[in-house]
Structures are given as structure tokens and as C-alpha cells.
Amino acid sequence: MKHELPLLPYAANALEPVISQKTIEFHYGKHHQTYVNNLNNLIPGTKFEHADLVTIIKEAEGSIFNNAAQVWNHTFYFEALSPKPQNLPSGKLQDAINKRFGSFDSFKEEFTKAATTLFGSGWAWLVINKENQLSIVQTSNAGNPLRDGLTPLLTCDVWEHAYYLDYQNKRPDYISGFFKLIDWKKIEQRFAAL
């Protein structure tokens, strides 16, 4: 199976000023594309040659896992963002957030802390855990919660290539901006599909 770079659901400059066109061109156009290319070059002749990304993430190790997970993680990240987002969750997702975290503001604070304090490169995630509750987890490098039996709803990329051109070393400023771009309607659709 040949993996493709999915099209962004918005123009490269649509997330400005929070995420610049230059960052999108590097992050999506170069980094994300490189993971796709690497994966396509690594899987011929392996048991993953015809596998989908989720299967590869759950079963592969080393370079094949790293590149497959980064393709999936980046796609999931970019698809949750919008230049005209629904800025707050509603309905059943809002109820679940309030039940688990007390309020949206408390969730935002806890998620921001997870994204800010992750050492090095990786991801902060809002997931459904094995007890069918919302939870916030961190993964390093290409880590993906699917590997641990968790169901991702939202992720924030905290690799430096996600923000360094726009924010340099100010990761908290990037995370604050990230919250302005999350389209909670899309997260609600992911939640409703479970």
C-alpha cells in the first residue's frame, strides 16, 4: 500500500497569524511529507507492505513504526485545526470534559501543562482511556496512544518544528495559540463516532 500525504483542509496561510504559512510549508510540506516518503521506502518487502497506518503503529518497531506514527500523528493534528473553528466543545463532549476535569478551563490548564512540560519532542493528547473516560497523556518522539489501547481525540505537536519558526523557544505561547485554532466540532465528531 502506498501512503499519501493527505491534503490540508485549509490553505497554507489560513492559520495565520497563529501558525504562519512558512511554518506550514516546513511542518506539513517538508516534515510530514518526509515521514510519508520514508515510510513508503521502508515497507516494501516487509509484512507491512500492504498494511494500513493503524496496523503498522500497533505492530511495527523502529524506523517503520516511527515514520508510520508520525504520518498518523501529523494528519490527526492538522485535521483538528481550522481558520474558523468552533472554539469550545458542546453537547456530550462538553459534558464529558466537565465531568472528568471540572470545567473546560481546568481541562485547558491540565492539557497545557502536559504539552508544556513534555521534555524534548513529542505530543500531548486528549484520549479515551481503557475505563472509557477522558484522559490527558504525553508521548515522546513518535509515540501514539493507539499502541497503548487508548483512543485519541486531540493532539498537540510539541516537536520544535511545529512552532520554532513562529515562537522560537516560547512553547507556552504556541500552545496558547494552538487552542485558538482547535475546531471542537471536529473533536466532537471524533467523540461521537466512538
pLDDT in tens, 32-70: 999 999 999 999 999 999 999 999 999 999 999 999 999
Which residue, 56, 20, 66, 39, is CA-closest to 161? 20
Q: Are residues 116 and 171 in the same domain?
A: yes
Q: Are residues 96 and 179 in the same domain?
A: yes
pLDDT-derived band at 106, boundaries 50, 70, 90: very high
Which CA distances in Å does 136 have to 64, 97, 108, 121? 26, 11, 10, 17
Q: How many domains does one find in the chain?
A: 2
Q: Are residues 170 and 107 in the same domain?
A: yes
Q: What is the pTM of this model?
A: 0.96
Q: Are residues 125 and 35 in the same domain?
A: no
Domain range for 53? 21-79
Q: Nearest 5°: phi and psi at 120?
A: 75, -145
What's the chain's Rg over C-alpha atoms?
A: 16
Q: Is 117 a member of any domain?
A: yes
Determine the Cα–Cα distance for residues 111 and 39; give it in Å rounded to an integer: 30
Determine the Cα–Cα distance for residues 55 and 68; give it in Å rounded to an integer: 10
Which CATH number belongs to the domain containing residue 103 in this structure? 3.55.40.20
Q: Are residues 130 and 41 in the same domain?
A: no
